[in-house]
Every structure is written in C-alpha cells, then in structure tokens.
Amino acid sequence: MEDASDRIISLPVEDRYHTALQSYKKIYNESIEEPVSFWEREANVIDWFRKWEKVLDDSNPPFYRWFVSGKLNASYNALDRHIQTGKRNKVAFIWVAENGDEKIVSYDGLYYRVNKFAKALLDLGIKKGDRIIIYLPMILEAPIAMLAASRIGAAFSFVFAGFGPSAIAERINDSKAKLVITADGSYRAGKVIKLKEIVDSAIAETSSVTTVIVAKRIGLEVQMQEGRDLWWDDLIPRGSTYVRPEEMDANDPLFILYTSGTTGKPKGVVHSTGGYSVWVANTMKWAFDPKDDDRWWCAADIGWITGHSYIVFAPLFLGLTSIIYEGAITYPAPDRLWEIVEKYRVNLFYTSPTAIRTLIRYGKKYPEDHDLKSLRVLGTVGEPINPAVWKWYFEVIGGSRTPIIDTYWQTETGGFVLSPSIALGLAPLKPGSATFPMPGIVPKILDENGNEVKDGKKGFLVLNKPWPGMFLTLNNEPDRFKEVYFNRFNAYYSGDYAVKDNDGYFWLLGRADEILKVSGHRLGTIEIEDAIISSNDVAEVAVFGRPDEVKGEAIIAFVVLKQGFDISGDIIYSLRQHVRETLGPIYVPDEIHLVNALPKTRSGKIMRRVVKAVFLNEVPGDISTLENSASVEEIRQAIELVKKEALR
C-alpha cells in the first residue's frame, strides 16, 4: 500500500495545548477502561422513563444492545422536558428559505404542532411499531413529522427530497410503508421541484401505500388522488391536543435510513431509540460545546444522517436554537450563507467541504461583505477536507479565531466517531485531520490481512468496540449486516482508508470500496450502473469516480450500447435524463463515454478498476486475467478523442 505520510501537514504540538490534550485523554481513557460507569453517567444526558437494567448486552455480537430494558421517548426528550424546565419560550428553529420566507418556532410552538400531528397520525390508524416514509424538503413539517412519528412509536424512514421515483419506490417497498408524508413542492436555486408528482410516480411502482399526506409549501396545484391523498392542514385536529409519548424500549428502532452500499440495493440502517439518543446528544456536546444562548446551524439536509442527528435530534435534545435553511447555498448570490450567519448571528456553523470549495471559487469578497464575528466554532463533515480548504475556512470565515471541528462519521455510526472535542479538551488541530476518537470509540488501522499497520501507513479503518450510537442492524437483512461490516476484520469495518500519524492523529483518505462521495453525497457506483442499464439501450456499463476539485468526486460512466443501436449525440442526453428521472439529479454522471467493449475477466466480470485506471492515466495493475485486452486500447482512444474535442 502507498505511504500516505506525504499527504500530512504536521504542525508542532504546542505546549499550551498539553493540558487540553490531557484532559481529553483522561475522559477518553475512562470511557475505554470503565465503560459501564462511564455510560451509566453519560446516559443521563437523556431523560428515561425507566432506567436500563444493563448498560451493554454483548452476548450476541455483532448485535450489541445498549441500555437494555431502559424506556424513553425521543419526542419527549426533544420537547416535553424543555417545556417543563423553563424553555417554553426559547426558539427551537429559525426557518429561512431562499425566497426570503422565514418562520420562527419556539419549543412550545413545536410541541404544540408535534402533538397535533401525532394525533392526526393516530387518527389515521398509524400506531406503535408501524413504518412510515417521509419525503419532505427543508421545511418545519420535516422535524414535526419525525418527532410526531417518534412520539407514537412509529419508526420513520426519511427519503432525501433529491431522490427520484425509483429510489423512493425501493425504500417504500423495503419498509412496506403504508403512509408517505410529502409536500406539494419546494424551491431550489429559484426552480420549483414538484415533489408530489415525484411521489406519485414512485407509488406507482409499489403496493403497500394507502395514504399520502401532503404539506402545502409553495401552493403548487397538485393532483390529489381520492381516498389516498390528504392535505396536512386538513388533518390537524381542533382544540387542545396532547398525545402521551409512547414508552419505547431503548432498542426499539427510532428510524431507518437507507444508504448506499456496494451492491445496487441500498442498505436500511436501523437506529435504536436509546443508544442513538445518548450518542448524538453527547457527541454534539463534546465536540462543539454549545452554550444555551448559542445559535447552531447545521447546513446539511434533514434527509441525510447529518440532518437527522444534528439538525433534529441532538440540538433538540440539548434544548438549543437552530437554523434550518431551505434552498441552494449560492442562491440568489454566493453570499447566501454569510448573509444568514450575519443576520441571525450564528455562533456554531457546520457544513461540508464541498460547500466550502464551492464558495472558495467565488472569492473572499462575499464573506468579507458580511459581519461574521458571531461565529465561534466551525465544523465540517462528509468527506475529507483538503488542508488548503481547511485553512481558507479557518482564516476567511473564522477570522483565524474559530477551531475547525472536522467530524468523521457515517450513517451507520449515528453520530461523530472521530472529531476534535472542545468540551473535553481541544488538542491542537492539524488541517485535514479529524484528530482523535470520541469517548468509547476504538479505531484501528489494518492491512489486508487484518494486522495493524505502522503509524504513517495507510490502511483500512475499523472500530474495535461497540458504541451506543452504533446501528442495530440492516432492515430485513441481518446476515448482510454481519457480512458487510463484521466478517472481513472481525470488528466494525468502515469501508474507509485512513492513516494515523506519529502524534496519534487520524487522517481519512477516502473510501476503500465501490462507494463514491459526490458533493458529500454517498452514492453507490452499482446503483448508478443499474439505473443506466435499465434504460433499455445499454448492454454494459462501468461507473467510477474521478477526483474533482469542487465536488470531491465526479461520476464517470463508460457505456456499451446494445447492438444495432444508432450512436448519435442524443443518447448521452437521454441516458443522463434517465438517471435523473429514476435515481434523482445527484446521481447524474458528469461524463458518459460510449465504447464498443469494456475490459472483462474471462468469467465475464467487467473490470471497473481497469477502466478507471486507464481513464485516470494510471497503471491499470494486473490485467493478465483480461479476456479482451483490445478494449483497454479502445478506452484510451475514447479518452483521447474527448481530450482533443476539449482542445478544439
């Protein structure tokens, strides 16, 4: 494996930080050496209806169960307990939309609306143990629907509103949901997104859905199917409404979130109620050290895990005030984010490297036009952050005052697993490193044979011990859960490459599998291949990522059309359109190349690795098993042709 140390920028560990590092280490060591007493204490970040009998049941690995027999409710922890303890009038969310719309809701206001909607769900026959689908844009109805579902004990599955019909249908079918909650539409970069229409096409490919609730966001005229579709507002009961929060078991599922894996079928990551809640609340507290008076802005989408954990659950569990923004970050102008930071005097700001790289291109002028002095802490998530981008974020946005909290984690981990932690003791930062593990996390870097590599060497990142925020299983696929994550190394395998430097800092080096990170979105190459193949004109396809300065990775597809198909310019357009209409816009390949053959093994397996290497002008490695070596030359020629055309 290549030596990764050349990617590391080392900064000397200054003396004045030693105390902070020691303080972090003391707590970290306690979490590893005395896990039971550690979690006995830290689990009190959440209110429990009944205390657990055992902190961790590890009798059936890898199906670890935390806070066994403990009883709680997530909606109660997000709302009721704050109402009872003097935070009734505190602002829970400031909602801002790109067209200038704004709504501010207090904890009491949110509590009121969640109770009303929970009652509406009960009246529709939704009950504890049911599964529902939420397909909503960044509007207040999103957290309201999530909390109402949790209140009555129905596990929700949120589908990111950028997904297309097939992706939604697949998730509905896997969870056999009866109810879908959506909106008429949404705005993005000035365009109208017709969400209800997309849901209608998705439902046509499913059989379980009997009810669709439609929130009115933009006043779009939509087709309401008699007997199935209902307006959100029409369901809200009159008069005072209180729905008693269900007593949920710590290991009852809170939600299922589908994420891309290395096969075409997305994985339904199931999160628990107890362990997950304890994990997200604590990790947010440790890493960002939010104060009661702060304004927090996690600029992710609620439809991804980042939004679930750090827009909805953790900030509400901690009783914080958050911004929710609906819209594009450069609309109407590239200072959109900074305008919001200034106007709402945001203190803690959390976004992705792609967002920062996008804004860097527009220059310093835009942030410099705004007063960003309210910012105290900046965070990043979703992909490795280049040291130069880290420094720009630190200097231009943070005025060289704010620490950069680079949080490494995954849908499966529920919350941060590697991150600097202000509340525990902030070690000196190194631009581009997610620094150290959160309490309870034991990261190791292994070689192909499962042996630990030396410091400074690249390897596979695994987590050796269970932690409370760890997912329970994969929905309907316990065997896949074991196989994908635990079989290879007998520990939780993250699928990421990483390196640990001589000071013990961790550096993430990208995915080690068939997963792409495009603008921070996690996409499976095979999902995209399946979508392209389903277009009827395509015989074979290979999809892979190429490094991209802004998006992290760009999607490249090499396609062999079916025999007799007339190759014309339009096919590329229609293939892109096909991917957009099935999976959604984030999956559309940046480049599609048509070739007559793809390199294959003798057993007929397409060698994506070889196509990628040739494309990137790297040595393709061992191609002795290749059945049709002429195809390699053809790919080379196709690329040459593109280069020549680009020069013209």
Chain residues that interact with ligand WTA, rule: CB under 6 A: 259, 304-306, 381-384, 406-411, 434, 494-496, 508, 511, 517, 522
Q: Tokens 């009961």: give the residue.
A: 237
Nearer to ligand WTA, 370 or 480 (CB): 480
Short-list 107, 340, 327, 341, CA closest to 217? 327
DSSP character string of 603-636: T--B-HHHHHHHHTT------TTBS-THHHHHHH
Cβ within 8 Å of residue 348, ≥6 positions away: 288, 290, 294, 295, 296, 297, 375, 376, 377, 378, 379
| Burial of residue 405, with CB atoms counted within 10 A of its CB: 0-12 exposed, 13-18 middle, 19 or more buried | buried
CB of 113 to ligand WTA, least distance (A): 28
For residue 622, CA distances in Å to 449, 609, 619 come to 20, 10, 9
Nearer to ligand WTA, 166 or 410 (CB): 410
Phi/psi for 118 (5° steps) reads -60, -40
Residue 312's identity, in one-letter code, is V
Nearer to ligand WTA, 406 or 530 (CB): 406
CB of 461 to ligand WTA, least distance (A): 8
Nearer to ligand WTA, 235 or 360 (CB): 360
Nearer to ligand WTA, 116 or 267 (CB): 267
Rounded Cα distance, 158 and 134, in Å: 5
Residue 602's identity, in one-letter code, is R
CB of 481 to ligand WTA, least distance (A): 15
Nearer to ligand WTA, 261 or 274 (CB): 261
Phi/psi for 637 (5° steps) reads -65, -40
CB of 415 to ligand WTA, least distance (A): 9
CB of 492 to ligand WTA, least distance (A): 12
DSSP character string of 264-293: SSPEEEEEESHHHHHHHHHHHHHHH---TT
CB of 604 to ligand WTA, least distance (A): 30
SS3 of residue 592 by DSSP: strand
Phi/psi for 211 (5° steps) reads -135, 140
Nearer to ligand WTA, 355 or 434 (CB): 434
> Interior CA angle at 95 toward 89 and 97, to 5°?
160
Nearer to ligand WTA, 150 or 351 (CB): 351
CB of 533 to ligand WTA, least distance (A): 24
Rounded Cα distance, 373 and 378, in Å: 12
User: What does the block give as tokens for 184?
Assistant: 């008429």
CB of 37 to ligand WTA, least distance (A): 29
CB of 77 to ligand WTA, least distance (A): 22
Nearer to ligand WTA, 82 or 271 (CB): 271
